[in-house]
Amino acid sequence: MTIVITTSLGENLKLQKEAQLLGQKLGYSVLNRRKQSVKSFLKVYDHVLLVYENKLVLVNQDGSQLAFHPDTAMLRIKSAHDPLLELLGQEKLSILDTTMGLASDALVMAYAGHEVTALESQPLIHLIVSKGLQTFETGNTLLDEAMRTIKTECIDNMFYLRRQPSKSVDIIYCDPMFSETITESTNLSGLKPLANKSTITDEWLVEAVRVARKKIIVKAHFRDSVFEDFGFDRQCRPNQKFHYGVIKL
């Protein structure tokens, strides 16, 4: 997988400097944009990371893009009921989201007042999403404040869990890549080429049970056998493509 970093078409010294710093941090080549099209870069590279004034955008070989935008979370917080928040209850909790991705679930939980730490194993996904959480402005002050409270770490979740004290967090949450594609989830298309496709394992569950105090929650496709395979109490959601599963401790 080859990746190059460049700037938006409006490149300037500030953007060029930021691109150079990212290149040094990530070990990727940095090229001046010089009005070249993204397609011209994709003839040589698999992915192009574009540096804008207030965001990072990754363009993949298939034309899909990965960028941070809290649109899904914004829709959910406007809803009168959110099934994940209902599973958490009214008490303010410490939550470890072991599969950050685009951080929609982390943001919904943080907006509800929970203390959220989100883990992402893939460096580019972590870079783009963590920057977005710190800089994106929605116009909703409370939502922006919630984004800033989320602590993120670029780390493998098993490695992280093994380093944690027993019973050190209230909830452990996991939303691995679905076993089947949901065609309506177009916002995930830019994420898939880079996403960690690891699923729940016996080893993960052992560590999660050790570290969590109250519950372990998983989200998966409704046809996924993860609920039955690992002893989760499936929370059926009629006419929905994904279900939640809970293990109470």
Cross-strand partners of 169: 212
Identify which of 8, 11, 37, 7 has the alpha carbon closest to the alpha carbon of residue 23.
7
Render pLDDT for 204-214 as a digit per residue (tens, 0 to 9). 999 999 999 99
Coarse DSSP helix, strand, coil percentages of the chain, rounded to the nearest 5 percent: 35, 25, 40
Joined tokens for residue 182:
């949901």
Mean pLDDT along residues 41-60: 93
Per the CB < 8 A criterion, the answer to whether 19 and 7 are in contact is: yes
Mean pLDDT along residues 14-43: 94
Continuous H helices in the chain: 13-26, 38-42, 71-78, 83-88, 104-111, 123-135, 141-149, 157-162, 202-211, 226-229
* pLDDT surpasses 90 at 162: yes
* pLDDT surpasses 80 at 179: no
Mean pLDDT along residues 48-60: 93
Sheet order of strands, 242-248 included: 151-154, 115-120, 94-97, 169-174, 212-221, 242-248, 233-235
pLDDT confidence tier of residue 183, bands split at 50, 70 and 90: very low
* pLDDT surpasses 90 at 199: no
Identify which of 215, 134, 138 has the alpha carbon closest to the alpha carbon of residue 169.
215
Query: Considering the entire predicted model, what is its pTM?
Result: 0.89
Q: What are phi and psi of 117, to 5 degrees?
A: -115, 130
Render pLDDT for 88-132 as a digit per residue (tens, 0 to 9). 999 999 999 999 999 999 999 999 999 999 999 999 999 999 999
* pLDDT surpasses 80 at 197: no
